[in-house]
Amino acid sequence: MISGSAARRVPTRRPRALRRDLQGSAESFPDDVVELQRFFADPVEGQRVRAVPGAGLHVPIWLLGLSFFSAQLAAALGLPFAFASHFAPDYLLTALKVYRTQFHASATLKKPYAMVGVNVFAADTTRRSAFPVHLARAAVHQSAARHAGPVAAAGRIDRAGVEHSLACSIVGNRADVEAGLRSLIDQTQPDELIVTAQIFDHRARLRSFEITAQARDAIGSI
C-alpha cells in the first residue's frame, strides 16, 4: 500500500525522469530528444536507465512543430519532421525550407521526410460543409464552446482568429477537396499529409473523411 505522502510524490517523479525538472525549457529539448532516442535503441553496457519494453524497439521519432525551432532540430538530428499547419499555418513554407536545406543525413534518415497538416471539411454540398468549420475551430480556441454544440457556440466565435488559423484548410465537396489537396501538395511537396476534420457531428465527420479518401485515391500517391 502507498501512503498518502508517497502517493503525492509519485506524479512529480515521472516528468523529472524525462525532463529533469517540472519546468522544462527549449534549451534542454534537444538533449531530451537525443536521450529519448537512446531509450529506444539497443541497451549498452553500463546504461543506468532502460525503457521497458521500449529498449531495442527503435521506435521512429518524429518532431512536430509550428515554428523554426523543431524544423532546425529535426534537420540537425536527421529526423522526420511534421508541421502543425492544421492549426498554426503561419510559418509552414519557411519551416519546410529550413528543414530541407539544413538537413543532415543520419542512421535514421538519409534524406528529408516531411509531413504537412491540413484541415479538410468535406461534404456532398458546399453549403453544408462550410458551417461546421468555424464552429469546430471556435471550440478549440474557446473552451466554453467546446461542448456547446453548433447553435450554442455560434455567438461565441472570434471569426478573425478562426479564419487566420484555418489558412491551411480545404472546405467543400469532393471536387473542391481534390483541387485543394493538389494545390497544397504542389506548394509544399510533402511526403505525407496529416488530415484532420474537427466537425461537431460525428456522421458528418465520417462522411468528410470518406470524401477526402475518395479525393486522395483520385490524386494517387504524393
Query: Domains of the chain: which residue ranges?
Result: 1-59, 60-219
Q: Strand pairing of 192-196 and 169-172?
A: unpaired
Three-class SS of residue 179? Answer: helix
List per-block mean pLDDT (blocks of 10 residues) for the chain, which spans 222 residues: 36 48 61 70 71 69 86 92 86 94 92 94 69 48 48 53 68 92 94 88 90 92 63
- The predicted structure's pLDDT at residue 156: 53
- The predicted structure's pLDDT at residue 67: 81
| Residue labelled with grid coordinates 541497451 | 43
- The predicted structure's pLDDT at residue 5: 36
Cα–Cα distance measured from residue 91 to residue 117, given in angstroms and rounded to the nearest whole number: 12
How many CB atoms within 10 Å of residue 26? 9
Cα–Cα distance measured from residue 206 to residue 209, given in angstroms and rounded to the nearest whole number: 5
Cα 191 to chain center, whole Å? 14
* pTM of the complete model: 0.69
Domain 60-219 homologous superfamily, CATH = Luciferase-like domain (3.20.20.30)
Amino acid at site 128: R
Do 165 and 141 touch, CB atoms closer than 8 A? Answer: yes
**Does 80 sit behind a cis peptide bond, omega within 30 degrees of 0 on the bond before it?**
no
Do 84 and 66 touch, CB atoms closer than 8 A? Answer: yes
- The predicted structure's pLDDT at residue 86: 81
Do 129 and 209 touch, CB atoms closer than 8 A? Answer: no
Q: Which residues pair with 122 in a beta bridge?
A: 172
- The predicted structure's pLDDT at residue 25: 58
- The predicted structure's pLDDT at residue 127: 56
For residue 82, which of 97, 96, 100 has the smallest C-alpha distance? 96
